[in-house]
Amino acid sequence: MIKIKTEKEIELMAEAGQILAKVMKQVSLMVKPGITTKELDETAEALILSYGAKSSFKGHEGFPATLCTSVNEELVHCIPSDRKLKEGDIISLDGGAHYKGYHSDMAITLPVGKVSPEVQRLIWVTRKALKRGIKKTRPGVTFGDIGNTIQRYIESQGYGVVRDLCGHGIGENLHEEPEVANYGKRRSGDVVKEGMVFCIEPMVAIGDYNIKRARDGYGYQTKDGSLSAHFEHTIAVIKQGVKVLTEIQGGLS
């Protein structure tokens, strides 16, 4: 059952979302050749705690860190380590903040130093796919409509849409109903209603969309080793359309 949130609950989730957005913006500024993914994670944890919040990820289903740090062919949920980022790498940062009983969740993909035009395009397309999915969302459309919008755009750009992982509802629990796929058929699935809060998170591969377990045994990576990107926002459905809870006004998007 998809839970409908009250205005007060959405306000609290917006607070959690703003904390997370600020943390992710600060951590993103640290991404450069030579830094370790563990350093990024330690900074994210300290910042979240400094805002009076807790990590949504640390301890969730045994995950040992605050951030998921996925590099190059790694797609999602990879554990931070002593691995140093190199010039030309691509890294996805995925984090969550738990504040006043409610969760927020977001992800961004960043270039490390100077990257190839192909990598720049992958990041740009994935970010735009998220924006298109958000723009499509409003009361009365279906989740199939949202997934179809994302899928058609990504595939029109020649990339693969990951099918084995998806977005999700969010609230008092990090993962709630519904599942929010990045592909689908128009007019299929549940109807989007005012008060729903969920995460849209396109996951895109330059090559084939099939995935497998990553080397750390926890995360996932592309099966063919191709580069991948991931963007995510927590959004609330309101009468006028949507409110992006993990976006700083005029900032990270």
- Residues making up the binding site for a divalent metal cation: 94, 105, 168, 201, 232
- Residues making up the binding site for substrate: 77, 175
DSSP codes joined into one string, the chain? -PPPPPHHHHHHHHHHHHHHHHHHHHHHTT--TT-BHHHHHHHHHHHHHHTT-EESSTTGGG--SSEEEEETTEEE-PPP-SPBP-TT-EEEEEEEEEETTEEEEEEEEEE-SS--HHHHHHHHHHHHHHHHHHHH--TT-BHHHHHHHHHHHHHHTT-EEP-S--EEE-SSSSSEEEEE-S---TT-SPBP-TT-EEEE--EEESS---EEE-TTSSSEEETT---EEE-BEEEEEETTEEEETT--TTS--
Per-residue model confidence (pLDDT) at position 251: 44
Per-residue model confidence (pLDDT) at position 248: 81
For the domain made up of 7-244, give the CATH fold.
Answer: Creatine Amidinohydrolase (3.90.230)
Per-residue model confidence (pLDDT) at position 48: 98
- Residues making up the binding site: 77, 94, 105, 168, 175, 201, 232
Per-residue model confidence (pLDDT) at position 253: 41
Tell me the domain boundaries of the chain.
7-244
The residue ranges of the chain whose pLDDT is under 70 are 249-253
